[in-house]
Structure 1
Amino acid sequence: MQLNAFDLEVRGLVAKCWEAGKGTPLLLLHGSGPGAAAFGTWRFVLEPLAEHFNVFIMDMFGFGGSAKKPEGEPFDLELWMDQVRALVAHTGRDEIYVIGHSISGYLALRLAAEDARVKALVTTGTMGEHFECNAETEKCWTFPETREALKSTLTGLMFDTSVITDELLDLRMDILHDGVYGPYFTRMFQGNKQSYIDEATLTGEEFEQIKCPTLLIHGRNDVMFPAEELTLKIAEHLPHADVLLLGACAHLPATEHPERVVREVMAFFKKHNLS
């Protein structure tokens, strides 16, 4: 797979982006946990999807290699929406598909509500509906200062905890504790974390504007962002949407069950005669 890197400037900030494959543009948008980035979320599904689509991935501002805001609140849904809109414009195409994970599921839903160029939408472990912040959600948006705190966060993110090895913990600790990322992430989710859930909630009117074929994928064992409080409630607003609940899966479907996710996504596109 040939992966081409490029920069995208939005409001004076530079976003790191990559593309691969040919065909209809497919945007993959990552979530917001500690250390989240495009490759970390999509690394296992990127190549098989690029065999069928012109896949675009991007580090959201404040994550990965993309810029951090020099001033103002790091948690900025409108900035992230502008970033996604800029990537859509960069494709130069009138038809695009989008897969959004977690908080970027909310961004993807909003994009589908406002932009008719979105012809198919997939979410994994998505936000977008109101729910009560729980102790596990708090962990996802709290910077892990210690190795044990990191292990606790990863245990909430993954169903199969056997993958949380000493090697993985060492690698993550080295990446997270560079002296820059930690303070920025802490500022991003400071204060009452319920407010971030409330902000990332679509209105009934926005849901009504989503007309494209939609597939909502969620892990049945997701304790941080529970399926019954998010995907199943969102499905009530989208009677045309397909819903897939994955067993033995927590908050990271594309990491925990990549082959299943690719298979279901491709079946979804085939069902709607999309290529």
Structure 2
Amino acid sequence: MQTNPEIGRRIVANGIETNYHDVGEGHPVLLIHGSGPGVTAYANWRLTMPVLAKNFRVIAPDMAGFGETERHADDRHSMENWVLHALGLLDALGIERAHVVGNSFGGALALALAIRAPERVGKLVLMGSVGTHFGITEGLDAVWGYSPSLDNMRAILDIFAFDRNLVNDDLARLRYEASIRPGYQESFSSMFPAPRQRWVDAMASDEAAIRALPHETLIVHGREDKVIPLAASLALLELIPKAQLHVFGQCGHWTQIEQAERFNGLVTEHLGG
């Protein structure tokens, strides 16, 4: 019987039965996925987890409202509640302090987590990150406005990746089928209803609070990202005192997939592995 690699372990975090992956040994690293349709921690980090696990204990949860984590029809999703979920997971696992790597939506959450509980966060990695104020792109509006169909999923994947060789019919079908699992689309469509600029603004942290962050921060962005503008990462570079920025040319929003080897090397070096 074939097992689903997206299903890991389960633990109750802040009252939510949470699906998460826990691999490797060493200093904990919390990986927070993005907000695409049908996304899971495994889909987002499948090329990252085994590499980081050589040097660190890697924790990759499906955040509230996503993947195989428990969901309810009356769930209220907000950055505050996502921060509480992340802190609840660290508490449940007995982790006092973890490095945090956040992708897109997960970057906004990583920022908010570091601001809310700076003592719980070691180093930060923000990739293609939300978390500042910017005008919503056509790409992000399309991603958050996804309605389930194979053609729509193929179009979304085309927005994500610069290298079209990464986008094939098999991947589109796999992600489409993930997006229509029971409860997935209902939860997803309720998170970011139009007009969607308000959700970009709701995920933005206070600039003064970002300037006060003491954490060493690696910012990563794909130059051809059609989902989150490079300007968002340039703004973070200006705001965060201990920040460095790496921009990959000929790379879209899928930095950790399109540039997996170099991305993993950058992150490992930054975190001290």
Same fold (TM over 0.5): yes
Partners of 1:120 and 1:243 in 2: CA distance: 14
3-state SS in 1 of match to 2:18: strand
Partners of 2:63 and 2:7 in 1: CA distance: 17
Contact 2:28 2:98 in 1 (8 A): yes
Partners of 1:39 and 1:4 in 2: CA distance: 8
Displacement of 1:63 in angstroms is 1.1
Partner of 1:267: 269
What is the aligned-residue RMSD (CA, Å)?
Answer: 1.9
Deviations 1:114-154 (A, max 9, x none): 32231211111111100111221111102233222211111
Give me the TM-score of the superposition, normalised by structure 1. 0.91
Partners of 1:133 and 1:86 in 2: CA distance: 30
In structure 1, list runs of 5 or more residues that go unmatched: none
Displacement of 1:98 in angstroms is 0.8
Partner of 1:36: 39
Contact 1:34 1:142 in 2 (8 A): no
Deviations 1:62-115 (A, max 9, x none): 111001233154x32222111111122234344321101111111111222232
In the alignment, structure 1 residue 255 sits paired with structure 2 residue 219: no
Displacement of 1:5 in angstroms is 4.1
3-state SS in 2 of match to 1:251: coil
In the alignment, structure 1 residue 211 sits paired with structure 2 residue 197: no
Of the three residues 97, 111, 114, the one matched with 1:112 is: 114
Contact 1:4 1:19 in 2 (8 A): no
Partners of 2:86 and 2:14 in 1: CA distance: 12
Of the three residues 201, 204, 214, the one matched with 1:201 is: 204
Deviations 1:1-32 (A, max 9, x none): xx994323244321111211111001101010
In structure 2, list runs of 5 or more residues that go unmatched: 1-5
Contact 1:18 1:57 in 2 (8 A): yes
1:144–1:161: structure 2 CA closer, same or farther, 3 Å change rule? farther
What amino acid is aligned across from residue 154 of structure 1 in structure 2?
A: L
Partner of 2:3: none
1:179–1:65: structure 2 CA closer, same or farther, 3 Å change rule? closer
Within 5 Å, which residues of 2 pair with 1:1-275?
5-73=8-76, 75-113=77-115, 114-178=117-181, 180-228=183-231, 230-269=232-271, 274-275=272-273
Contact 2:212 2:240 in 1 (8 A): no
What amino acid is aligned across from residue 162 of structure 1 in structure 2?
A: N
Partners of 2:127 and 2:106 in 1: CA distance: 9
3-state SS in 1 of match to 2:119: coil
1:67–1:241: structure 2 CA closer, same or farther, 3 Å change rule? same
3-state SS in 2 of match to 1:116: helix
3-state SS in 1 of match to 2:37: coil
3-state SS in 2 of match to 1:18: strand
Displacement of 1:263 in angstroms is 0.8
Partners of 2:127 and 2:93 in 1: CA distance: 23
